[in-house]
Structure 1
Amino acid sequence: MSMWKKFAGGVAFSAMAAALVQPAMAQETTSGIGGTVSLADGTAAANAKVVITDTRNGLTRTVTTGATGSFDVRNLNVGGPYSVSVSAPGQQPTRVDGVSISLGQATSLNLQFSGTAAADVVVVTAQQVNAAPVAIGPSSVFSLADLETQPAINRDIKDVVRADPRVYLDETAGGSAGTDGIQCGGASPRFNSLTVDGIGLNDGFGLNSNGYPTERMPFPFDAINQVSVELAPYDVQYGGFTACNINAVTKSGTNNFHGGFFFDYTNDSLRGDSIEGRQIFVPEFEEKRYGASFGGPIIQDKLFFFGAYEKFEGSNLFLRGPEGSGQPNIITGFTQAIYDQIVNGASTIYGISNLGGTPTVNPTSDEKYLARLDWNISDRHRAAVTYNYSKGLNLTESDSNQVTQFEFGNHLYDRGAELKAYSMQVFSDWTDNFSTEFRASRNEVDNTVKCRDGGNIGEVQIQFSGRTIFFGCDDSRHSNDLNYSVTSYKAKANYRAGDHLFSAGLEKQTYDVFNQFVQNTEGLFIFTSVQAFLDGTPSTIRYGNAASQNPADASASFSYDINTAYLQDEFELFPDVTATVGVRYDWYTNKDKPSLNSNFVARNGFANTENLDGKNLVQPRIGLEWDASDRLSVRGGFGLFSGGNPNVWVSNSYSNDGLRNIQLEARAPLATGFALAQNIRTTPNSADERGSGQTVNPTGALWGIPSYLYTAVGSGVANSTVNAIDPDFEPASEWKMSLGATYEANFGPLGDDYIIDVDFLRSASLKSSTVVDRALEQVGTNFDGTPLYKRIDRTDPDCLVASTLNTAACSTRSQNDLVLINAGDSYRNIYSASIRKEYDFGLEWTLGYAHVDAEDSRSMTSSVAFSNWTSNAVSDINNTKMSTSNYEIPNRITLQVSYEKEFFPEYATKVSMFGQAYQGRAYSYTFLNGGLNDVWGDSQESLHLLYVPTGPTDPNVFFCGGAAQASPLCRLSTTGAGATQYRTFDTASFFKWADEVGLERGRTVGRNDQEGSWNNKFDIKIEQEVPTFFGKGSLFGVIENVGNLINDEWGVPYEAPFPQQIRIVEADRDAATGKYVYRQVSAVQPQAAVASVAFWSVNLGLKWNF
């Protein structure tokens, strides 16, 4: 019999798959093979024998088809190759070799006997039968080959998943949350989930933008077998996210010993030193990474081991400096003369001899390892155990705006974490139709946070012309310690009854958190000019602590559980149409409550003790996939998803109850709550605020806390800031609806077998989150419609009567009552398309495009309640309106190309490239701080969207300068030398700029209505295999941002500084006339080059595998 006849008569194939990747709570770590077997006449082949063999470890699974000819085998290790054999009495046996299965995607093989009884076995390959799975929802799966091919210069799965055009890797973010956050379809990274072998390894507390609990990827890159990204998986096992789910499974040992090692290296000579013709100072540094992996049998076909280790020894580079410093990011307006003034003033006036200078380079390290055991208990039962350890440390910038902020070296802090993670899984096939999975896992995270100056002095901010200079211990790191654990259990069962595959499961996830987060225990001092700093006249002082003056007493501990139950049916709805219908139910149990603050209750009418206990959500879902033809498959679905709620937002209410953690503020000239003494150089100061009895520096200022604030905190006053959860608050949830298709196209002379994917996904919030300040009460309206607020004490009867509300009779309140509430509607529309092609001469390419339309009312970019409240451009700070999200990347194009050829026999040359072009995030024009009065009553001038006057004669605006030069409203400050210095507003340059950027006069600009710039970047990897004594070695080089290597004007991204705000006008308000007072124009630089990712760099390395 000819091979063609064997193929044509032996097998007919169609491929289906359900992208069933699990959440952080119930992560899928396996895959499956199922389908139908039919006779030559198309009728079902009942009782046919199906044998599935994992050729790597000899595990064999044998099942019998049911009455409809169907079979289904789940709980298979991902990858392959697998061999699938089918036999029946009187039929010619058939075997499909080379079947590789993807993470969470159950491949359906529809097999047909030839109708003969020949004894020889028909053998075909998976490639011959086009075995390609298709996902129900929008998703991507990256195989081991993808991981090895991509130019992943950071050895991080983020460098791989960014190939999906819907998944944007934010290299430009910075600050205390870190970098490289994964933004899926315009959503916050805090609403992603990440799991490895069933362990939820996403950031379980919600601090890091990178989505990891550690500073870098917490597991060795060489330990990973496959990675998937799911944006809308309709299987009800998915939970714990509303953005996307990123799932990785590790390699296992096999019957053959295998492993290898690698080493890569870079230094300052392998990095660019110019941007757009400007020579840049690059300090001396070097980075190296090395690691190894090894796996194999302990008992052949029975017990296997695998382990991987990786260590990174590198450098943190710091790129900001004053004018003339040669640093990549120059803070314009911050001259060397001002730099010297601050350094000299700190030393001679305040006794602070070392501010740490301009930071340039600092060592950093990261170490991790993973160990895994696999046990084939029998052909029907197997188990796996995984242990993962990671520890790393970084020197971190806290206030990292590259355009307007500069940090002296003693304002940086050490930041790191130690992770220990454990997982155990047991998979059992009790019968041909009934299987189970049991899992237990735990991860423990111990964070490290330490000020570089040792916490001797508090944070000092010196503001001028829209610039802010920082030194001293960062205000959020004065007393900061965090550790938490997450313990998870899962029990799941699958049962096949005819054409129905029923699934049911129970899960429980327990969070235990200890959090000491006490801001300002060393004090925060804000000066609105350099002269004010030299005079000793701050505009604001903040101090916080426990009443005992011991920050440890302000720590908070709490725990809660997320419980889940689900039920699902997967069945053939119509011929060639498979339906997945299920329901998921999540409910919270949370016995720990924040301490009751009776003063908060009196002010607001509800208790601050709300937690998550009793919160619950029913999540119905349906997914459909239609195998429309041999070339076309269509998928779609609709369902409700919940999760990704950052625990830090919940923790805020425990840590900031206004009782254990008392935060107070004194401001000038308002003198609300506490009158701010005008000269801290002569103000009596407390002993050391940590309560250790240290003597305050004789000059007093900045080394201690003004006595009136210290005493007030010690007395436990009722005026402290409180964070609370609204009684009606519900965890985040989103409705998702998607429609997509995959088509195999032939383009005549251009070739055949082009794979085209198109998808549309809409996510619309059922519940989202925002923060409001309940202490604010509207007392008026500006001419432009913006509200005027007053921070009041609602226990004062005069504050409850309209006639006295806006008078001195109503007691003012200096602190916030910040409440986490549900926001209004938000949505994300994601359109994507890709085309890919493989050639038999070693070339592969994929071209992708995604368009994202995302709107929200507050983007919640931070972890602290106050920062979330103050990181959004607004017209009304407590009633934000829907507008473009800070996370929207409106357009993104991706290109992957790889080529492999043996120019030297048996030793391949491999070249791969990844490129992207994208439109950056939108941004807003706002006012800036620096005026003498609280313009809108919320003390947040720099958040307010800019009003563009009709012209120099706008009747609603008072411009400083000219005849108005000597107006008190234009003074630099109210006391000291600044009382005789005046601002001048340059109307000509302002209106010239406003017209050039297209701002409409006579109106307030909209939030994020300025379009971001288009940026591009291309990375290349070149690898050459070389002979070794055994196994196979290779030499490689990875070039990041190759465009910048060719031309220093290429590959330079431009973006507005975090949080996508450019502050233009220092403003005030004349209470008598209601006019805005325009005092000064900032040095406008709409978008700046992001130097940290603009330079080209090269990593050189070698590896050896066997």
Structure 2
Amino acid sequence: MRSLYSRILLLVLCLLAHQAGWAQGVTTSSMTGIVKDTKGQSLPGASVVAVHTPSGTKYGTATNSDGRYNLPNMRVGGPYTVTVSYVGYETKVLDNIQLALGMAGTFSFNLADQSSALQEVVVTGNKNGVFSSDRTGAATNITREAINSLPTLSRSLTDFTRLTPQANGQSFGGQDNRLNNITVDGSILNSSFGLAGQPGGRTNSSPISLDAIEQIQVNVAPYDVRQSGFVGAGVNAVTRSGTNEFSGSVFYNIQGDKLVGDRAKNTKLTVNNFSNKQAGFRLGGPIIKDKLFFFVNGELERRVDPATQYRANQGGETVAGNTTRVLASDLDNISNYLRTNFGYETGPYQDYNLERRSDKLLAKLDYNISDKHRASIRYNMLNSRQDVPINTGSFVSGARRGNLNSLTFQNSNYVQLEKIQSVIGELNSTFTPKLSNNLILGYTYQNENRDQGNAFPLVDIQSAGTTYLSFGFDPFTYNNLLTYSTLQLQDNLSYYAGNHTFTAGYNLERLSYNNTFVQNGVGVYTYSSLSDFYAAANASLAGSPTSPVNLVRYQQQYSALPGNALPTSRTKVTYTGLYFQDNWLPKPNVSVTLGVRADVPFFDKTGLLNQAASELTFRDENGKLLQVRTDEMPKARPLWSPRVGFNWDVLNNKTLQVRGGTGIFTGRPAFVWIGNQIGQNGILLGTTDVTNTTAIPFSPNIAANYPANPTLPPTYQLNITDRDFRFPQVWKSNLAIDKTLFAGIIGTLEFIYNKNINAIRYVNINQADALGNFAGPDTRVRYPGSAAANRLNSTITQNYYLTNTSKGSSYSLTAQLERPFTNGLFVRAAYNYGHAKDLLSAGTTASGTYGGIYSVNGGNYPSLSYSDNDLRHRVIGSVSYRKEYGNFGATQISLFYEARNQGRFSYTYSGDQNGDSFTGNDLLFVPNSASDLAFLPITNTANGTITTLFTAAQQAAAFDAYINQDKYLKDHRGQYTERNGVLMPWVARADLSLVQEFFVNVGKKRNTLQFRADVFNVGNLLNHNWGVGEFYINRSPLIAAGTTTAGVPQYRMATLGTGANQTLLTTTYQNSATLSQTPSVASDVWTAQLGIRYIFN
């Protein structure tokens, strides 16, 4: 029977699938309640009219036979004035009502008979949004007052979603931050391809100005089936609208190096010059009073940071601090040589800046068509770009930047673009007192290309075997292109039948992705010395077909398509959903929400068939044989999400409520995970990767080494998605109690449990079997060792198979005290204890994700372990107080405090311990005694002389001492470490906002001149020992160094320093500021922002 229902639903959804997209945001508020007389008898037909005072927008209805009224699809915020009247009874007016996003304001009235005019008219209700019959799961509402008052430097949503106790950065419920759903006015505004956690993340920009936001709601576990598209949290924001009064503001903020601390405990930091300037405006008002309104907002941001703190050596200087070994004369000479002979400008190598530009615009119209129909349309735009230092990948030995050994030039960096254009329209209709509708239609286009600049081959020059200097174009930028769009349609029809509110809806979403990614597309040459490069370049200028010197390595990817066509992978999916819900009030103080939704993804057939690969046989981790096709996408199957939630107003007076629910939530994956199959199919790209050759001469032409007739490369990587792959699903449950305590303070206790139903997992189905086990104390399985021997099929380097797992869960227990904004005072304090486990943490590429699976026996055999997003302890506190001084001005002070564990990390080996051809992901074995391990001497070679720095015995003693000073390692002697087993120390920081306002009367209106200071980590300003975190120095204390003839693993201990100045590790942690040395972005020192704003009415 269930199979029959699934087929019927699939057919219905197929018929709808070609219309548009899937939106999952609630954009309005509502009001409900019961009207009775003083004897408790219902008053059917009573008139209830709510007026949004600023705009004059009216919402009216009549009570039903039970005396109940419903006012749906109302503007968020307020204030509202509600008038209740009934023939023969006193009219009641209730004003100054504020409505929370996504919540129903509940207000019930007991009207007195006109013959008893002296009798009190009783009104019960609440104005804080916490006590609401719609509130079942875990949610945090953030009002405009909080947005205007609490500290922020980035002016992003993240500075306010942190008010949610269960938040761990941008992660909620232990889930990947890309599995959240962000909507603005119902418009889906995610970084849905998945290269960033949120829109604007590629350029560290916010997609929308805070000045445009009316309210924000964070839903961790809502049981309203209209809210979906996430397994972490739904972050809904609604924008401001114009009113009957013209109002607006202009502002200017500035940050800079003079507004940054330079002391983190005993560490004195060098503060590099930087600046960040923000400016913006907003303006709203009537076009036609009570009828048509406009709102417009714009904001600019310009940030300048030093590109590098490192500088060239003038000759004879000690290599230390920020003075590198790279000679300024070498850098100057190579720059002049390239300019003279190849016309290539390298740009400077030091004393230059990285810039970020971000422009935002929003325009909105609200139209009260009639008392029954209201429409809005909103357009917003982000145009941003950021300079990014050259990538350090695809090098032979040693990073290209960020250390004392190497330097690069400015023109080797790249520019990341992020452009968003979004338009959304909404129509709210109340056809009768029993029937209403909400319709949303929107389109969003996102461009995350990299600026292509001036393509020139990348050249790495070595010295003493490590990278010395680099020039040319970034290796991952040429033809790195990404654009995508989202077309969405959502319709909700609600019917009010006595104590039932039935909602039926559907939504559709059409997503299209175009991604081109060519690694090393410009060609990467590696030479062992500067003199070798000069020799090769001079030979090239002379027309030599070969290189006179040995080329250490040459790497390049190129299009294998006919005519060298752009190798773009295209992923297109239509996501459809149907849902039905009953909000039932079995008693006036009990609300039960019952709903079910089903969502089905339909993938277009955009994949290309690799016939040769389809004829190969692979094997999963359980030994099951598989054959795969690169052109087949996941099947269309319904994803069911039944939910039930309840709210019990225990005392029937909005002072004590018990609420909770359970249900399934379906989210979207990061579509890069699935799009990787189309891009990594073995036929789009060809690869050249040769070492120690003279056959390839240097050429400034990036196409010089393309094959004349590209064919299928001899070896390649495959990414395959399981045909039965299902989008992420989590079963969420929660139980909570809210209680009014004293002085308007509300206490909350809440428990949330999340169980994975469909999480993601990668398996390398081309992995050869292990050969056996190592000898010695560490007896883990041992793989063949060489890349070729680790392949089941010799032509396939790896075949990453994306599938599902149900393993993984999380829970959290939260205690919170809150006093909503009243009389200028807001207070919130909370403690959250969390626990999250999973199998892996997904990246953006299959190879990166699989290579990052920390395990004992290889990536195909991960253990359930602590998640990267595990949040163990978190304490937050926020307070804001505003005091006005008559007509003179006002002072406002706000503070946000957070104390938490800094995260988790895994102890692993450096290198490839188990021989599976993946480095840095093998979990460490902690010996009972370090003397049980086989150490090799650590040596240094200088002027042809080899010197032993540390013997095997010295390393064993040092490693034992290291284990003993680390509680986790000491407690795990004789055992393997766990993925993310180490819980890092606590750190506590406070952020302060101070606002001083001066009132100015202009005509009959009060205008305001505002001065503001925001200080993050203000404790460090008061005492340089406060607010400083600690971070691990090296999570890989041992370096894998092969095996003995008996099969016993050998090691060297990790060191600090270089050359003859190396020292062995002694401690786990040090101040994190001493590692980054970048106070312009560090959180260990205080950072301030100053601002001025003029507000007019």
C-alpha contact 2:1015 2:1086 (8 A) present in aligned 1: yes
Q: Are 2:870 and 1:888 aligned?
A: yes
Residue of structure 1 aligned with 2:569, choices 556, 568, 575: 556
Provide closer, same or farther for how the CA distance between residues 909 and 403 of structure 1 changes in structure 2, counting only shifts above 3 A.
same
Question: Given the superposition, is the C-alpha separation of residues 264 and 927 from structure 1 closer, same or farther in structure 2, using an over 3 Å criterion?
Answer: same
The yes-or-no answer on 1:846 pairing with 2:828 is yes
Provide the secondary structure at the position in 1 that maps to 2:480.
strand
| 2:201 maps to 1:201 | no
Distance of 1:468 and 1:767 partners within structure 2: 47
CA RMSD across the alignment:
3.8
Q: Which residue of structure 1 lines up, in the alignment, with residue 1072 of structure 2?
A: 1089
**Could you say if the C-alpha distance between residues 531 and 611 of structure 1 is closer, same or farther in structure 2, counting changes exceeding 3 Å?**
farther
Superposition pairs for residues 268-307 of structure 1, below 5 Å? Answer: 268-307=257-296
Contact 2:635–2:724 (CA under 8 A) maintained in structure 1: no
| Residue from 561, 567, 581 that aligns with 1:568 | 581
Give 1:685 shift: 4.1
Tell me which residue corresponds to 2:4.
none
Match of 1:870 in 2: 851
Distance 1:469 1:105 in 2: 59
**What pairs up with 1:45-60 in 2 under 5 angstroms?**
45-60=43-58
The residue number in structure 1 matching 2:737 is: 741
For 1:727, what is the secondary structure of its paired residue? Answer: coil
Contact preservation (8 Å) 1:270, 1:1097: yes
Amino acid at match of 2:1035: I
Provide the residue aligned with 2:1018 in structure 1. 1042
Name the structure 1 match of 2:243.
254
Which of the residues 225, 233, 249 maps onto 1:236? 225
Structure 2 residue aligned with 1:220: 209
What does residue range 643-662 of structure 1 map to in structure 2 within 5 Å?
643-662=667-686
Counterpart of 1:788 in structure 2 is 782
Q: Letter of the aligned partner of 1:988 in structure 2?
A: A
Residue by residue over 1:166-193, the C-alpha shift from the partner in whole angstroms, topping out at 9 and shown as x without a partner, is 1233xxxxxxxxxxxx122332111111
Match of 1:382 in 2: 374
**Quick one: distance in 2 between partners of 1:645 and 1:1082?**
40
Structure 2 equivalent of residue 72 of structure 1:
70
Letter in 2 for 1:1094: D
2: distance between equivalents of 1:324 and 1:884?
45
Which position in structure 2 is the counterpart of 1:504? 504
Q: Aligned AA for 2:148?
A: E
Q: Matched residue of 1:503: which SS?
A: strand
Q: What corresponds to 1:1026 in structure 2? A: 998
> Residue 186 of structure 1: which of 164, 174, 189 is its match?
174
Q: CA shift at 1:1062, angstroms?
A: 1.7
Letter in 2 for 1:301: D
**Displacement after TM superposition at 1:496 (Å):** 0.6
SS for the counterpart of 2:26 is coil
Change over 3 Å in CA distance of 1:839–1:1102 after alignment to 2: closer
1:621 aligns with 2:631: no
Q: Offset of 1:236 from its aligned partner?
A: 0.6
In structure 2, the gaps of 5 or more residues are 1-20, 394-398, 536-548, 619-626, 1057-1064
What is the aligned partner in structure 2 of residue 15 from structure 1?
none
Cα distance in 2 for residues equivalent to 1:978 and 1:771: 47
CA distance in 2, matches of 1:812, 1:772: 18
Give the secondary structure class of the aligned counterpart of 2:613. helix
Q: Is the 8 A contact 2:650 2:656 kept in 1?
A: yes
Counterpart Cα distance in 2 of 1:857 and 1:331: 43
8 Å Cα contact 1:412-1:452 kept in structure 2: no
In the alignment, what sits opposite 1:826? 808
Residues 820/257 of structure 1: CA separation in 2 closer, same or farther (3 Å cut): same
- TM-score of the superposed pair, with normalisation by structure 1: 0.83
Contact residue 290 and residue 368 of structure 2 kept, 8 A: yes
Which one of 1086, 1090, 1095 corresponds to residue 1100 of structure 1?
1090
Which residue among 758, 762, 768 is the counterpart of 1:767? 758
SS at match of 1:337: strand
Q: CA deviation at 1:157?
A: 2.1
Query: Which is further off, 432-441 or 275-284?
Result: 275-284
Q: Which moved more, 1:516-525 or 1:834-843?
A: 834-843
Q: Which of 1052, 1055, 1064 matches 2:1037?
A: 1064
Say if 1:354 and 1:295 are closer, same or farther in 2 by CA, change over 3 A: closer
**1-side partners of 2:615 and 2:461: how far apart?**
35
8 Å CA contact 1:372–1:386 kept in 2: the answer is yes
Deviations along 1:986-1021, whole A, 9 cap, x unmatched?
Answer: 333222212221424443322111111211221111
Distance 1:404 1:821, change over 3 A: farther
Q: Aligned partners of 1:1001, 1:643: CA distance in 2, in Å? A: 41
Query: Residue in 1 aligned with 2:31?
Result: 33
1:179 aligned residue: none
| Structure-2 residue corresponding to 1:1079 | 1052
Correspondence for 1:44: 42
Please give the secondary structure, in 1, of the residue aligned with 2:770.
strand
Which residue does the alignment assign to 1:449?
450
Q: Which amino acid in 2 is paired with 1:165?
A: P
Contact in 1 for aligned 2:108/2:123 (Cα 8 Å): no
Give 1:260-659 correspondences, 5 Å limit: 260-318=249-307, 321=310, 336-337=324-325, 357=349, 361-397=353-389, 398=391, 408-410=408-410, 412-450=413-451, 454-457=455-458, 473-523=473-523, 542-547=555-560, 552-574=565-587, 576-603=589-616, 604=618, 605-629=627-651, 630=653, 631-659=655-683
Which residue of structure 1 lines up, in the alignment, with residue 920 of structure 2? 942
Alpha-carbon offset, residue 947 of structure 1: 2.4
Shift of 1:101: 0.5
Q: Cα distance, 1:880 vs. partner?
A: 1.2
Partners of 1:457 and 1:131 in 2: CA distance: 58
Alpha-carbon deviations, 1:409-464, whole Å to 9, x = none? 55532112111100111111000010011111001111231477744316789999
- Following the alignment from structure 2 to structure 1, what is the Cα–Cα distance between the partners of residues 784 and 884? 74
User: Shift of residue 828 of structure 1?
Assistant: 1.3
- Cα distance in 2 for residues equivalent to 1:902 and 1:144: 18
Query: Per the alignment, do residues 229 and 1036 of structure 1 end up closer, same or farther by CA in structure 2, a change over 3 Å counting?
Result: same
- AA in 2 matched with 1:872: I
Output aligned runs, 1:685-704, within 5 Å: 685=697, 690-691=702-703
| 1:859 is aligned to 2:861 | no
Structure 1 unaligned regions, length at least 5:
1-22, 170-181, 666-675, 694-704, 747-751, 794-798, 800-804, 966-970
* Corresponding residue of 1:917: 899
Distance 2:924 2:532 in 1: 26
CA contact (8 A) 2:216 2:238 kept: yes
| Corresponding residue for residue 6 of structure 1 | none
Distance 1:724 1:866, change over 3 A: same
> Residues 628-651 of structure 1: CA distance to partner in whole angstroms, max 9, x if unpaired?
123210110111111131111111
Q: CA deviation at 1:264?
A: 1.3
- Label 1:850 to 1:1013 Cα distance change in 2 as closer, same or farther (>3 A): same
Q: In structure 2, do the counterparts of structure 1 residues 524 and 165 end up closer, same or farther at CA, with 3 Å as the change threshold?
A: farther
SS, match of residue 674 in structure 2: helix
- The separation in 2 between residues aligned to 1:138 and 1:194, in whole angstroms, is 17
Indicate the SS of the match to 2:606: coil
- The corresponding residue for 2:717 is 721
Give the 3-state SS of the residue equivalent to 1:1063 in structure 2.
Answer: coil
Residue 792 of structure 1 deviates from its aligned partner by: 10
**Structure 1 position 285, deviation (Å):** 2.9
* Contact 1:92-1:120 within 8 A present in 2 as well: no
Q: CA deviation at 1:480?
A: 0.1
| Correspondences of 1:46-195 after superposition (within 5 Å) | 46-117=44-115, 132-134=130-132, 135-169=135-169, 182-195=170-183
Q: Show CA shifts across 1:43-97 (max 9, x none).
A: 3222222112111221222211111111111111100111222222222222211
> What's the offset of the Cα at 1:515?
0.8
Distance 1:345 1:991 in 2: 49
Tell me, what secondary structure is at the counterpart of 1:553?
coil
Query: What is the alpha-carbon distance in structure 2 between the residues aligned to residue 56 and residue 958 of structure 1?
Result: 77
- Please give the secondary structure, in 1, of the residue aligned with 2:963: helix
Q: Is the 8 A contact 1:57 1:301 kept in 2?
A: yes
